[in-house]
Amino acid sequence: MSEVTELSNFIGGQWRPAICEHWIEDYAPATGEHIARIPCSSSEDVDDAVEAAMDALGGWAALSILERAKWLDKIADALDARGEEVAQLESLDTGKPITLARNVDAARSVANFRFFAEQGREFESETFEMSDATNRVLYKPVGVAGLITPWNLPLYLLSWKVAPALLMGNTIVAKPSELTPMTASLLAEVIEDVGLPDGVFNLVHGNGLDAGAPLTSHPDVDLISFTGGTDTGREVAKAASSGFKKLSLELGGKNATIVRSDVDIESMMPSIVRASFLNQGQVCLCGSRILIHESIYDAFVGSFLTAVTDMIVGDPADEETVLGALISQSHRDKVLSYIDLAEQEGGEILCGGGAPVGIPEAFENGFWISPTVIDGLAPDARCAMEEIFGPVVTLHPFSDDQEAIEIANMTDYGLAGSIWTSDVEAGGLMAEQIDSGMIWVNCWLHRDLRVPFGGVKNSGVGREGGRWSLGFFSEAINICVKH
Ligand code: TXE
């Protein structure tokens, strides 16, 4: 039994409980054990955090972008020094395998700070000359930034927002998911240790309604960057509309993995399996619908099932584990309900469908589902159109590229997708016709942080990444001086 860690809010450089002194309990997904308790913050705590951020704004905005870039380097160095601790905490708090927490979550969190520090050093604003005047573009901070993040990639996604927000001179109130609070608190510890001025970064733990909602509607919050579910994103957008806050929404996905007839199945298979099940399928970029050309359907499915059933599901702390537990009992129940629905819709469960057999006793109270492959569903079945957000994929044949594109574009989402083919030109042409924010050809989650990241339709509003983040986290002001 691990001891229960009591976490605090970090406001104005001070660690403190919620004013109401209520708590939210945090559980380890792999064992169901109670591992932490966090402040159940309310609007009073949010008010204090926003006030601290406002008080710190002038001093922080007055620094040059180069000075702020140096602060990002300090945070990156201090976070890197605690990288293994980040990985262990993230794996414990999310149920994801330690190898994933180490290689993706911990490593990418450091990389996010380093990347935006470099973006700050390379940053140049524009000048536009006229015959009789000069236009100079200035990038000013937006002000107080409210950052709200989900439970699937906790520190990875929080750092993705914190780094550019700080670089462009904003101060921050961060509200991480109540399901995965631990690494957000570690980031606040790191920020305190490097001596970032009080109030520049504030952390408010709590649930969506009591802490998240007051942040999105707060009159002194100037910007909201939200990552989470589409339904919640709708609520956030409504709340943020008061006062016309700057808004970025990274929401859900129902991404297609398109396998053309000319693909080299064996060489692409490990990547296609990873795209299907990384982080137990709890990544909005996962390919949860696999569209396979009819001529290779049986060969592909046979090879895919072999690879899927070979994946080791189990103890997240074991270096050999490929899939860990789902984030919570209620999320597990939601995913299982979709598997039941799939059978009602005429689907056939080719593998998985429930808890893995042989889970050791220590993990019997964890939130487990084996990787599940469902065949035989119509492409417009609910399980093929709605986001399940678990280790579940549906398989669908197509006869030609046009049909694959039509199926891929059928959902209300438009976040990402991948196309696998030996004809990269044809793959590129298909990619241009997919209604999504990001398409990979013969790769998946191959990330250059300079590119625009975001979705269309129900997958979100706006783009972050590289200069898109710098633009979002600043207000471009034009000064025109007549000669
Ligand atoms: O989201 P929720 P979850 C999507 C993913 C899935 C979902 C999983 O596809 O659908 O997010 O994350 C807070 N006002 N993405 O279930 O419930 C809540 O406390 C203000 C897409 O956590 O929306 C948490 O901190 N805040 C993404 C955060 O919102 C509220 C990648 C998210 O919670 C709130 C990751 C409210 N009314 C997940 N209600 C991408 N596209 O990159 C809740 N919250």
CB neighbour class for 475 (10 Å; exposed up to 12, middle 13-18, buried from 19): middle
Q: Which tokens sit at 181?
A: 């609070």
- 40, 90, 178, 284: the catalytic one is 284
Report the 10 Å Cβ neighbour count for 387.
23
H or E stretch covering 375: strand 372-375
Instruction: Please check whether residue 454 lies inside any domain of the structure.
Output: no
User: What would the DSSP string read from start to end of 12-48?
Assistant: TTEEE--TT--EEEEE-TTT--EEEEEE---HHHHHH
DSSP H helices, 145-246, are 154-167, 182-194, 213-217, 230-240
Is the residue at 321 inside a domain?
A: yes
Number of structural domains (the chain) is 2
Same domain membership, residue 472 and residue 393: no
- Are 396 and 290 in contact by the 8 Å Cβ rule? The answer is yes
Helix (H) or strand (E) holding 471: helix 466-472
Residues in the chain, pLDDT under 50: none
Would the CB of 458 count as within 6 Å of ligand 1? no
Query: What is the signed CA dihedral for 147, 153, 157, 162, rounded to 10 degrees?
Result: 70
- Measured in Å, residue 151 CA sits from the centre of ligand 1 at 7
Q: How far apart are the first and last CA of the chain?
A: 73
Say if 245 falls within a structural domain: yes
Same domain (yes/no): 44, 129: yes
Same domain, yes or no: 175 and 69: yes
Strand-by-strand arrangement of the 34-39 sheet: 5-6, 34-39, 23-27
Give the CATH number for residue 140.
Answer: 3.40.605.10
Measure 152 CA to ligand 1 centroid, in angstroms.
Answer: 9
- Check: CB of residue 133 under 8 Å from CB of residue 481: yes
Residues 476 and 387 reside in one and the same domain: no
Measured CA to CA, the distance from residue 284 to residue 275 in angstroms comes to 11
Q: Which atom from ligand 1 is nearest to the alpha carbon of 233?
A: 23
Phi, psi for residue 371 in degrees, rounded to 5: -60, 130
CATH code at 309? 3.40.309.10
Residues 362 and 316 sit within 8 Å (Cβ to Cβ): no
Give the pLDDT of residue 401: 98
Identify whether 419 is part of a domain: yes
Q: Please indicate whether residue 281, judged by its CB atom, sits closer than 6 Å to ligand 1.
A: no
Please, where are the H alpha helices in 204-328? 213-217, 230-240, 265-277, 297-310
Domain that holds residue 95: 5-251+459-482
Token pair for 192? 């305190």
Q: Are residues 176 and 284 in the same domain?
A: no
Question: Do 68 and 81 reside in the same domain of the chain?
Answer: yes
Q: Is 16 within the bounds of a domain?
A: yes
Query: How many whole angstroms separate alpha carbon 271 and alpha carbon 254?
Result: 18
Tell which residue, 194, 186, 138, 187, has the closest CA to residue 161: 187
Q: Report whether residue 13 contacts ligand 1, using a CB cutoff of 6 Å.
A: no
Decide if 222 is inside a domain. yes
pLDDT for the residue numbered 2: 63
- CA 277, CA 323: separation in Å to the nearest integer? 8
Catalytic one among 250, 345, 387, 464? 250
What pLDDT was estimated at residue 358? 85
String of b and e for 3-40 (b: at least 16 CB within 10 Å)?
eebebbbbbbbeeebbeeeebbebbbbbbbbebbbbbb
57, 135: one domain: yes
How far, in Å, is the centroid of ligand 1 from the Cα of 390? 15
In sequence order, the 6+-apart residues with CB closer than 8 A to the CB of 374 are 339, 342, 347, 348, 349, 350, 383, 392, 393, 394, 395
* 328 occurs within a structural domain: yes
Distance 3 CA to ligand 1 centre (A): 28
CA of 336 to the centre of ligand 1 (A): 20
Q: Are residues 223 and 284 in the same domain?
A: no
Residue 220 shares a structural domain with residue 299: no
Tell me whether residue 453 is in a domain: no
Helix, strand or coil for residue 206? Answer: coil
CB of 255 within 6 A of ligand 1: the answer is no
The model carries a pTM of: 0.97
- Ligand 1 mutation pick, 227, 388, 436, 469, max ligand atoms within 8 A of CB: 227
With beta carbons less than 8 A apart as the criterion, state whether 286 and 456 touch. no
Same domain, 312 and 439: yes
- According to DSSP, the β-strands at 474-482 and 133-141 are antiparallel
Query: Domain check: are 282 and 226 in the same one?
Result: no
Ligand 1 neighbour 227 (Cβ under 6 A): yes
Same domain, yes or no: 360 and 280: yes
